[in-house]
Amino acid sequence: MEKTINFTRLRFVMLALSVVLITAFWGGTFLRGGFNFGIDFQAGLNQRIQITTSSEISEGDVKIALEGIESLQVQSIGNPEDKEFMVRVGVDETQADFQQTVKREILSKLEASFGSGSVEIRSSDYVGPRFAGSLTSQTIFLTVFALALILVYIWIRFKLNYAISAIAAIFHDVLFLLGFIGIFQIDFSTATIAAVLTIIGYSLNDTIVIFDRIRENSRIIQGKTFEEVINISVTQSLSRTIITSLTTLIAVTAIFILATGSIKLFALNLIVGVIVGTYSSVFIASSILLGWHNLSSKKTTKNVRSAKKENEKVVNFNKA
């Protein structure tokens, strides 16, 4: 017979650990000035450039060459051998003819550092403040809307307590991942949103597998407490969860090692998200479900006792 691991015994330790880490990550994020919003979420001028010199050029070299330009962001694109970079300068509404002035300044500084005629402007785009704000609002709305649909889906498939526990675990994963991104000042772009939504789906899938086993075992296992049923169910699902996570991590780690730029950061976010999602499915979701069950049981017991006392009063009154 398979040995049952007592996961719920550590539930308070794991919940406390999560609270401490998430608080530390978000506290560090705000101390460092908030998220490092990328090109997609800030108004400004975006230029894709290629440097055609024979020597190796890094992202840091471009930043040094453009030193003195305010609200500057530089991001490597593609293979390092291509020497392509995305240069972004935040909009300055007080500056007259902002676009043309910044374009000339970027070109002159780069050519001064890497040689005349060595810089090719591949593309140049301007994102206005209104569009950047609209994109941020739409992203928040769609993420909240997706979570609401997930809540309804799990509520229909299981029960309300399962749905709330799953959503709480997903919020845990999102808060942890965003805190990690913020404290290490990882570029926050549309790829970050894609990674967050991917992790939401991944974590939800893991949680549903475990919850489905808990629901099934609650029907067929007799003489066990709900806590024991949870431990049995998580133990039975553990091998599947670990194998799935390891397989995913191998693939994503390969992408992280081989890729560059935004794809590399996307893979890094997925690596962190998969690890946290697996952890929350095993420890956080089941712990919250057990806590909800215990509170409901206490409330039911209290109501039964109150009803029993009322019945006794009625009986005693009738006897009198």
The 10s digit of each residue's pLDDT in 127-173 is 766 665 677 778 788 878 887 887 788 888 888 888 889 889 999 99
Higher pLDDT, 157 or 184: 184
pLDDT of residue 96: 65
Q: Please give the average per-residue pLDDT across 188-206, as a whole number.
A: 89
Asked if the model's pLDDT at residue 304 lies above 70, the reply is no
Residue 111 has pLDDT above 60, yes or no: yes
For the chain, residues classed under CATH 1.20.1640.10 are 8-34+132-306
Query: Which pLDDT value is given to residue 37?
Result: 80
pLDDT of residue 228: 92
Per the prediction, the chain carries an average pLDDT of: 84
Given a contact cutoff of 8 angstroms between Cβ atoms, the answer to whether 102 and 69 are in contact is yes
Domain with CATH 3.30.70.1130 in the chain: 44-127
- pLDDT in the model for residue 255: 93
Assigned CATH for 44-127: 3.30.70.1130
Instruction: Tell me: pLDDT of 2 over 70.
Output: no
44-48, 128-132, 153-157, 289-293 — which is least confidently predicted? 128-132
The edge-to-edge listing of strands for the beta sheet with 84-90 is 72-77, 84-90, 44-51, 119-127
> What is d(CA 276, CA 288) in angstroms, rounded to the nearest whole number?
16
Return the pLDDT at 93. 64
CA distance 91 to 95: 9
Percent of the chain having pLDDT more than 90? 33
In this prediction the pTM is 0.77
- Read off the pLDDT of each residue in 287-309 and give the average, rounded to a whole number: 71
Give the per-residue pLDDT at 163: 86
Is residue 41 within 8 Å of 73, Cβ to Cβ? no
Identify residue 245 by its one-letter amino acid code: S
Q: What is the mean pLDDT of residues 64-92?
A: 82
How confident is the model over 245-255, as a mean pLDDT? 95
- Band of pLDDT at residue 300, cut at 50, 70 and 90: low
- Comparing C-alpha atoms, which of 26, 18, 16 is closest to residue 181? 26
What average pLDDT does range 15-22 have in this prediction?
Answer: 95
pLDDT of residue 176: 96
Please tell me the least confidently modeled range out of 177-181, 185-189, 230-234, 285-289: 185-189
Mean pLDDT of 172-183: 95
Segment of 14-23, 84-93, 135-144, 284-293 carrying the highest mean pLDDT: 14-23
Residue corresponding to tokens 């057990």: 290
Domain 8-34+132-306 matching CATH 1.20.1640.10: the answer reads yes
pLDDT value at position 175? Answer: 95
Three-class secondary structure of residue 34 per DSSP = coil
CA 75 vs. chain centroid, Å, equals 22
pLDDT category at 318 given cuts 50, 70, 90 is low
